């Protein structure tokens, strides 16, 4: 398809004429037509290659066109392309069993959904029914999806326009964020402790008898790769136990290997009551998400009907790709690969930029999930662009992103941050090449920063 000008023009014309895009003013966007993808790279119609440092929407954990996933979907399509959820099905059951085998604690049952938003939606519904309470607490600086309850849970500007219609039972609180502490703390430990005190105050003032759940990203994703400081998640678990609140871990972005563990909670030794997942479960080859449920909550529904369902819950094509994902992870040592590249290549390289780039204010992350927080002033932490910047205000970040793309690397940028989130199958050479492109692009940001 490379160089096929007519084909590219048709793609552009159909897209601009008829595709209504997410989160966009339709006349202000110009989506890049993509001709092909393989592994960690995709190509436009001119044959320009982009190394994907964003794994599409941080879902393409096993890269494009992974032969095992493609084969699994093809074989399943040839055998039984679909079957409704109230019937038992081999791949659906096998995937649920495999997820339960790697899930922490007694999380042994899986309710399948089509993606992450409806996973959170259904997790909240379970928590409400189980506790007989209605409020749910979630963090400012979070994203939980685009359905009614999920967008209400979201703690970023994507909620604002949707607020009047969204779930009224959600209350937001501040999570830990040592670099921009709400709690004037001067160490990660103090940040964790003060953030927990704040959370307990919110619980007290909202009324523990009204709170069904606390739903949080284990490592906050799009809103900044906010790694929880030592003790924080344990403290959340304790508060949930103390007040009879269901702990829901949103692992839509970080589950299935992103930080080098099956689930990010594994890195912190914490067992939630419900885990929501999507994205990496099958790299998004066919839409799939779900809720992993503790025995206590699952057994509550032994004699109480769970009122929720989806036509495509546990779709066989999606589940076949999920089973293949487990086989690839185990055979190819994906978790080990992620931990190795994260600790040996990404962490030292990014930390090195603190010394060489005046625009790099903070570096944080784990595995293949990292953020660089770009600032104009390292003393005051003034961000390179304002919170929620658009238009001319966002120009410096757009220039950094353009420099990456010109160097053949597709970056993940959000507000004043660049993230490093490549496919988990990326090779060391590819990873170093992408980091070199980020390194060079940061000189663009440095021009705005006082040394
Ligand atoms: N939760 C988190 C942490 C996410 O990052 C996302 C998507 O980016 C979602 C939920 C929503 O998932 P989906 O877009 O599949 O509905």
CB 292 within 8 A of CB 109: yes
Mean pLDDT of 298-327: 98
Q: Is 94 exposed, middle or buried (0-12, 13-18, 19+ CB in 10 A)?
A: middle
C-alpha to C-alpha distance for 279 and 252, rounded to whole angstroms: 6
**Is the confidence at residue 451, as pLDDT, over 70?**
no
For a mutational test of ligand 1's pocket, the pick from 117, 255, 318, i.e. the residue with the most ligand atoms closer than 8 A to its C-beta, is 117
User: In the structure, which protein residues have their CB atom closer than 6 angstroms to any atom of ligand 1?
Assistant: 57, 115-117, 120, 143-145, 217, 221-222, 250, 252-253, 278, 289
**Per-residue pLDDT, 274:** 99
The burial class, CB within 10 Å (0-12 / 13-18 / 19+), for 23 is exposed
In the chain, the percentage of residues whose pLDDT exceeds 90 is 98
Beta-bridged to residue 419, according to DSSP, are: 371, 412
pLDDT tens for 204-263 read 999 999 999 999 999 999 999 999 999 999 999 999 999 999 999 999 999 999 999 999
Q: How far is the CA of 344 from the centre of ligand 1 (A)?
A: 29
Whole-number mean pLDDT of the chain?
97
Centroid of ligand 1 to alpha carbon of 45 (angstroms): 29
Q: What is the pLDDT of residues 348-395, one digit of tens each?
A: 999 999 999 999 999 999 999 999 999 999 999 999 999 999 999 999
Taking the CA of residue 59 as reference, the ligand 1 atom at the shortest distance is 8
pLDDT, tens digit, 9 for 90 and up, residues 426-447:
999 999 999 999 999 999 999 9
Q: What is the pLDDT of residue 377?
A: 97
CA distance 67 to 75: 12
> Taking the CB of residue 324, how many other CB atoms lie within 10 A of it?
26
Mutate to test the pocket of ligand 1, among 23, 278, 286 (most ligand atoms within 8 A of CB): 278
Asked if ipTM goes beyond 0.85, one says: yes
């Amino acid at each position: 398809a490379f160089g096929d000008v007519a084909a590219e023009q048709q793609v552009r014309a159909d897209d601009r004429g008829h595709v209504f895009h997410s989160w966009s003013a339709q006349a202000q966007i110009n989506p890049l037509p993509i001709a092909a993808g393989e592994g960690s790279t995709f190509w436009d119609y001119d044959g320009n290659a982009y190394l994907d440092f964003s794994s599409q929407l941080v879902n393409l954990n096993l890269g494009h066109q992974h032969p095992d996933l493609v084969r699994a979907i093809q074989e399943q399509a040839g055998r039984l392309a679909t079957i409704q959820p109230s019937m038992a099905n081999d791949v659906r059951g096998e995937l649920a069993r495999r997820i339960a085998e790697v899930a922490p604690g007694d999380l042994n049952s899986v309710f399948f959904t089509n993606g992450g938003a409806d996973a959170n939606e259904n997790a909240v519904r379970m928590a409400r029914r189980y506790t007989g309470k209605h409020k749910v607490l979630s963090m400012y600086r979070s994203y939980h999806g685009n359905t009614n309850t999920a967008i209400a849970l979201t703690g970023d500007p994507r909620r604002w326009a949707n607020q009047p219609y969204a779930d009224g039972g959600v209350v937001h609180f501040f999570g830990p964020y040592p670099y921009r502490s709400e709690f004037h703390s001067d160490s990660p430990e103090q940040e964790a402790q003060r953030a927990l005190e704040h959370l307990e105050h919110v619980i007290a003032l909202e009324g523990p008898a009204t709170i069904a759940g606390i739903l949080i990203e284990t490592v906050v994703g799009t809103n900044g790769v906010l790694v929880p400081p030592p003790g924080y998640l344990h403290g959340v678990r304790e508060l949930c136990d103390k007040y009879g609140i269901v702990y829901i871990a949103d692992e839509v972005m970080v589950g299935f290997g992103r930080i080098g563990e099956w689930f990010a909670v594994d890195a912190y030794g914490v067992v939630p009551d419900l885990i929501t997942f999507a994205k990496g479960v099958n790299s998004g080859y066919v839409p799939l998400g779900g809720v992993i449920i503790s025995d206590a909550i699952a057994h509550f529904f032994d004699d109480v009907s769970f009122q929720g369902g989806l036509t495509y819950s546990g779709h066989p094509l999606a589940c076949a790709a999920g089973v293949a994902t487990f086989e690839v992870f185990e055979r190819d040592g994906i978790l080990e690969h992620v931990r190795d590249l994260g600790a040996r290549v990404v962490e030292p390289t990014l930390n090195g930029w603190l010394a060489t780039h005046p625009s790099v204010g903070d570096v944080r992350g784990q595995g293949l999930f990292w953020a660089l927080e770009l600032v104009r002033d390292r003393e005051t932490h003034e961000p390179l662009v304002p919170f929620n910047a658009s238009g001319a205000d966002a120009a410096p970040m757009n220039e950094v992103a353009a420099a990456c793309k010109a160097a053949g690397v597709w970056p993940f940028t959000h507000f004043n941050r660049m993230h490093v989130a490549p496919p988990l199958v990326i090779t060391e050479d590819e990873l170093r090449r992408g980091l070199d492109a980020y390194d060079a692009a940061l000189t663009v940001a440095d021009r705005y920063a006082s040394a």
